[in-house]
Amino acid sequence: MSAAHIPAIVLGGTGYVSGELLRLIAGHPQLRLAGILSDSQPGTLVSSAFGHLAAIYPLTRFSSQEQIEELVATLPVSAIISAAPHGASAALIDRLLTVAEAAGTQPRVVDISADFRYRTAEAYAAVYKHAHGAPARLSQFSCAVPEHLAQASTPHVAHPGCFATAILLASVPLLKLGLVSPQLYVSGITGSTGSGRKPTDGTHHPQRHSDLYAYNALVHRHTPEVAACALDASGVAAEFNFVPHSGPFARGIHVTVQAQLREPLDTAALLAAFDQFYAHSPFVHVAAAAPRIKDVAGSNYARLSVAANGRSVAVMSVIDNLNKGAAGGALQWMNRLLGLAETAGLTAPAAGWT
């Protein structure tokens, strides 16, 4: 199969991240959608769940697991991106890889769930309070944001979560360059799409509209993941003190990371250090102006800025949680795994006025 027509398979059904994956795949120059799994709605039109994609996928229907397994068994090469829920993704991926191994096919997998973000089943179980769904597969996955790992040594990749992506982009340069003491304080605000499609008390629009509040202060379940990824990327074991907040907007994450500088540096010097650190990262922009969510919403870009006062430093980081923090970051990794241009299908700018 030519590189211009690599079949893509999406796992995860009707969730927001699945919808974003479908939108990005539609604009990708070398991927084509081969199937999207929904065990709850097989045979249903994709446009019934994602009305904004009706013009692109007017006749495409959700597939059953059996249909997806048949695709994986018959396609010599495929790109599988899983947006299935935490706790369900691992077993599903394990089944598809088992089918592929029996058939002699070679899918590449990027998992957006948390199931392959930890190196051991015990570390995963300690956070998620249930056994890992495919512990024998953990060694086949690397976990990092693309900007912090030049090349994966494994056939498959786990993409860090949306909060983790924003925090790591801001924190890793501080740690890897030895600029700060390894105690970091993080305040982050996320849009409502980060909580998934099913309304809850914390995400229902009348509750969230025109409001701002913290949740899971200092005990957020993604904090250990951030620390583990930061250690892998920087070589520094750092302590992250994270307070997440729910924001009254749909898309985007704004994170502020604060720390103590080992030696006094001014803002200009820190901006230069960050700019050099990300000089070869096409999706990360560093600027003196404070970053705004509207500058990245709907895109795979991240914007960072830095401020210093004596020995205190603050790094501001904004991303789109559905795109750079999930579907776009996963597609960025898939481009690499398939030997395609890293930026393929991902260079569209932010909408600006979402």
For this structure, is 229 an active site residue?
Answer: no
Single-letter amino acid code for the residue at 186: V
Which member of 162, 184, 313, 322 is catalytic? 162
Distance CA 228, CA 110 (A): 19
Distance CA 30, CA 335 (A): 9
Distance CA 93, CA 181 (A): 39
Distance CA 37, CA 84 (A): 9
* Segment (H or E) for 171: helix 162-176
A 10 A CB-CB count for 352 gives: 11
Pairing of strands 253-260, 312-319: antiparallel
Query: Smallest Cα–Cα separation from 110: which of 78, 134, 75, 136?
Result: 78
For residue 1, the Cα-to-chain-centroid distance in whole angstroms is 28
Distance CA 304, CA 128 (A): 31
Query: Smallest Cα–Cα separation from 300: which of 147, 113, 186?
Result: 147
Among all residues, which ones are annotated catalytic?
162
